[in-house]
Amino acid sequence: MPDPTCPICGKPTVPALRPFCSKRCADVDLGRWITGQYVVPGPDTEDEEALLDSKALLDKKGSLG
């Protein structure tokens, strides 16, 4: 079984800071995560469209019934 390594820099993991090797790398990962969450580039609209589509289908069904 290979030793666990830090997903940020690839150094050996420190058990207290798993899965990272240092507080710094944990912060880097957290920063990436937060930016991924709050800075959403375009493709989100696709989900919205799909949502509207399914709602339209439900409305049609409703008017038929």
Out of 4, 5, 8, 26, the only residue in the binding site for Zn ion (CB under 5 A) is: 8
DSSP assignments along the chain, one per residue: -PPPB-TTT-PBPPGGGTT-SSHHHHHHHHHHHHHHHH---TTHHHHHHHHHHHHHHHHHHHHH-
30 contributes a contact to Zn ion by CB under 5 A: no
Q: How far is the CB of 33 from Zn ion (least distance, A)?
A: 15
Residue 12's beta-bridge partner residues? 5
Instruction: State which residue, 30 or 57, has the beta carbon closest to Zn ion.
Output: 30
58 contributes a contact to Zn ion by CB under 5 A: no
Q: How far is the CB of 60 from Zn ion (least distance, A)?
A: 53
